[in-house]
Amino acid sequence: MHIYFHEKTKTFHLQNDTISYIMTVLPNGHMGQLYYGKRIHDREDFGYLLETAMRSHSAYIADDNTNYSLEHLRQEYPSYGSSDFRQGAIEVLQENGSRISDFVYEGYETCGGKPVLPGLPATYTEDDSEAETLRIFLKDPINGLELTLLYTIFNEGGVIARSACIKNTGEQNVHLLKALSVCLDLPDANYEMIQFSGSWARERYPEYRRLHTGIQSVGSMRGHSSHQQNPFIVLKRPETTEFMGEAMGLSLVYSGNFLAQVDVDTYNTTRVTMGIHPEWFDWKLEPGESFQTPEAVIVFSKDGLNGMSNTFHKLYRTRLARGVWRDRTRPILINNWEATYFDFNEEKLVKIASKAKECGVELFVLDDGWFGARRSDYAGLGDWVPAHELLPNGIKGLSEKIEALGMKFGLWIEPEMINPDSDLYRAHPEWILSVPERRASLSRHQWVLDFSRKDVVDHIHGMIAKILRESKISYIKWDMNRSITECYSKALPADRQGEVFHRYILGVYDLYERLTSEFPEILFESCAGGGARFDPGMLYYAPQAWTSDDTDAVERMKIQYGTSYCYPVSSMGSHVSAVPNHQVDRLTPLKTRADVAYFGTFGYELDLNKLSAEEQEEVKVYTQFMKDHRELIQHGTFYRLQSPFTCNEPAWMVVSPDKKEALVAYFRILSKVNEEFKRLRLAGLDPELCYSVDGKAVRYGDELMNAGLVTSNSTSGVTFPECEPAGDFKSELFYLKACE
Ligand code: DGJ
């Protein structure tokens, strides 16, 4: 890994074994983009990559050069209005009403490692040798704004982390109306874009579209990253597959409103931008103040979509997630939500926990309903005091009882919310986000607390920290069950209301930071009505996230498969739940439910007492299986093999870092009669190693990856006999171990 700077041509080249990222100072002092892709040789002058042309109706930025229009130049951090007619990365409203800016190169600095972004989640290094950072300094001579562009290139993989910092060193107040995190100006438009869209209970379904002239974008204006869209897009070549070809992923380390936009102009160049959604964003920057954008992580892969995902997984698992739980194997948990909903008392909970303990489960999680008047979702949010009619000795008493069983205890909270029917609202009606004298829309009978206010965050912190200090709590599930509406803070002046969405999420990060620092041993799982805040920002504080409220095994194949394009298996909360399934009413075998849930953090979401004795024995086997394989699953390399979106037999696998072990999951959604022969080609194995497949057959890695695993009934292969008799929603796991 190295950052070259060629003084004569003012060219920067960030290079590692996989990629090159090259840019230069343009003749007008702006930063121009030259190349991002597979590693290429360094040279002093890449000027030939700067194409200019004199085109009719273009405006030119240099008076004496009619060829020189920003409209046709590829740039690092462009702005609209001075000969570039595309949408830019920055827009600054100045005191005279002008929005024109002109950031001119002043100098640069490099350092080993990666600086922390104050108040924001970001990838990090543990040692300066893991990455190198370049800061490029630019200044607008008229308004005095300083712009610093940050680029970190990691040693490993095709990763660049980018962000921008704007400092007002002038004398006037300005308003940032747009300050995105990244801009990539690509020289052609021969791409397909993949976005990850959905809704509650069907999050992150990959959707493909061929790029067309004009703007195509996804984003969220819900105050959180959302069920609907994810702050992650991929541009891939049309011919790119899971294992071959170029793919570029852009991921925003942020949990609030975002925009990911691809703009193809009529000269077939592609501008990709990503950052805080500019809609409703208006950040007042007074002299001396700075604004730091969130970080965007871009990954280039020449090894297809799996190659790209592998890079994101490793980076996010090891250099975004933090704390003691980053590398520790995660506890197998049982959560009472689908077992009881709001209908529980201490006796019932202890009974559920005791049976789970008997089945080998390690952590009992008490979900919603334990506090204030929260006997339904109409009341109690905001009153983080145990309901003594349910829990006579409070959370402290219950947690001690659970620990006495030999299990750990975990607790659900939803700290950002408030019910109208709560003591907190009666005491502080001004603490909700709402516009004075206008109605505030309810959602799930609740409002959103104004986390842009420090006094609100302080108060909630006080209540939650008290419980965590008093009780034996090993795990927290932090939920967030509605989007933000009527976004307005009564604590901010009129000209700062455009800051509320971002200040809100900074407040959330602040509370996370305080709690995770004071309670480093607690494992945090983020959640937002299932997977509405499954984003890299959350992963920085909570190494796992509840993937979706849909716990049906067949639905989960899709949700977990889609989620895996960016996020590691170690981050995906996945549980075995009851049948008929509560969301889709489907009956699936217990084995299939377990086989899907293994590829995540694994747990249960039902009352095991309600299972037959035989099923309880099965549960013991599944729990033990996860204990035996969770190291491999959590730290292994995950490969998507066959998609549940396009095929009846979805499959995926994980391979241990030393390639000596692997676990393959193969599902068959619908049973068919008189089927064709089937083979499953594996991935990521050592071609030279011999593997025993479930102790039943021995195959070389190259056989398994090229000839494939024979999964149809065949006398010569490792077959799928466990699926007999035929039936829907079946699954099989194959465990591969390298032979001595
Ligand atoms: C939504 C979560 O996703 C569920 O798992 C559960 O915790 C409920 N909220 C509780 O209200």
- In the residue annotation, 549 being an active-site residue is answered as yes
Query: Given 3.30.450.20, 2.40.50.140, 2.60.40.1180, 2.40.10.120, which CATH number is that of 651-739?
Result: 2.60.40.1180
Mean pLDDT of 250-263: 98
Phi, psi of 548 (to 5 degrees): -170, 155
Distance 567 CA to ligand 1 centre (A): 21
pLDDT of residue 713: 58
Which tens digits make up the pLDDT trace of 593-622?
999 999 999 999 999 999 999 999 999 999
> Is the pLDDT reported for residue 675 higher than 90?
no
Which tens digits make up the pLDDT trace of 384-408?
999 999 999 999 999 999 999 999 9
Burial class (CB in 10 A: 0-12, 13-18, 19+), 376: middle
Q: Locate tokens 């965007």: which residue? A: 296
For residue 721, what pLDDT band results from cuts at 50, 70 and 90? very low
CATH number assigned to the domain covering 81-319: 2.70.98.60
Distance 457 CA to ligand 1 centre (A): 22
Residue 702 DSSP symbol: H
Mean pLDDT of 322-332: 98
Contact 307, 574 (CB under 8 A): no
Nearest CA to ligand 1 atom 6: 337
Distance 413 CA to ligand 1 centre (A): 10
The Cα 191–Cα 178 span in angstroms is: 26
Mean pLDDT of 269-273: 98
Distance of CA 20 to the CA centre of its chain: 25
> Is the pLDDT reported for residue 189 higher than 80?
yes
Which residue out of 340, 341, 367 has the highest number of ligand 1 atoms within 8 Å of its CB and is therefore the one to mutate? 367
> Is the pLDDT reported for residue 714 higher than 50?
no
Single out the residue of 96, 221, 719 nearest to residue 498, CA to CA: 221
Burial class (CB in 10 A: 0-12, 13-18, 19+), 463: middle
Which tens digits make up the pLDDT trace of 631-658?
999 999 999 999 999 999 999 999 999 9
Nearest CA to ligand 1 atom 10: 368
Topology, domain 333-635: TIM Barrel (3.20.20)
Mean pLDDT of 57-72: 87
- Provide DSSP, 258-289: EEEEEEE-TTS-EEEEEEE--TT--EEE-TT-
Burial class (CB in 10 A: 0-12, 13-18, 19+), 216: middle
Q: Which atom of ligand 1 is nearest to the CA of 527?
A: 3
The single residue of 479, 535, 595, 607 carrying the catalytic annotation is 479
> Is the pLDDT reported for residue 717 higher than 70?
no
Topology alike, domains 333-635 and 651-739: no
> Is the pLDDT reported for residue 352 higher than 60?
yes
pLDDT of residue 395: 98
Which residue out of 527, 533, 606 has the highest number of ligand 1 atoms within 8 Å of its CB and is therefore the one to mutate? 527
The Cα 352–Cα 499 span in angstroms is: 45
> Is the pLDDT reported for residue 342 higher than 80?
yes
Distance 254 CA to ligand 1 centre (A): 22
- In the residue annotation, 628 being an active-site residue is answered as no
For residue 673, what pLDDT band results from cuts at 50, 70 and 90? confident
> Is the pLDDT reported for residue 214 higher than 80?
yes
Which tens digits make up the pLDDT trace of 451-481?
999 999 999 999 999 999 999 999 999 999 9
- Provide DSSP, 158-214: SEEEEEEEEEE-SSS-EEEEEEEEEEEEES----EEEEEEEETTEEEEEEEEE--SE
For residue 725, what pLDDT band results from cuts at 50, 70 and 90? low
Q: Where are the domains of the chain?
A: 81-319, 333-635, 651-739
Q: Locate tokens 């969405």: which residue? A: 501
Distance of CA 423 to the CA centre of its chain: 35
Give the type of residue at 609. Answer: N
pLDDT of residue 676: 83
Contact 272, 261 (CB under 8 A): yes
pLDDT cut 70: percent of the chain above it = 98
Mean pLDDT of 216-243: 98
Burial 318-350 (b: 16+ CB within 10 A, else e): bbbbbbebeeeebbbbbbbbbbbeeebebebbb
Distance 82 CA to ligand 1 centre (A): 49
Which tens digits make up the pLDDT trace of 236-249?
999 999 999 999 99
The three-state secondary structure class of 733 is: strand
Distance 548 CA to ligand 1 centre (A): 9
> Is the pLDDT reported for residue 712 higher than 80?
no
Q: Locate tokens 């009666």: which residue? A: 426
The Cα 161–Cα 75 span in angstroms is: 17
Residues 706, 709, 712: CA angle, nearest 5 degrees: 130
- Sign of the Cα pseudo-torsion (484, 193, 234, 530, in order): positive
Nearest CA to ligand 1 atom 2: 529
Q: What is the overall mean pLDDT for the chain?
A: 96
Residue 75 DSSP symbol: B
The Cα 730–Cα 709 span in angstroms is: 17
> Is the pLDDT reported for residue 61 higher than 60?
yes
Nearest CA to ligand 1 atom 9: 529
Nearest CA to ligand 1 atom 1: 529
Nearest CA to ligand 1 atom 11: 368
Which tens digits make up the pLDDT trace of 115-163?
999 999 999 999 999 999 999 999 999 999 999 999 999 999 999 999 9
> Is the pLDDT reported for residue 716 higher than 60?
no
Ligand 1 residue neighbourhood (C-beta within 6 Å): 337, 367-368, 412, 479, 481, 527, 529-530, 546, 549
Stated as kind and residue range, the H or E segment containing 351 is helix 346-358
The single residue of 84, 102, 535, 549 carrying the catalytic annotation is 549
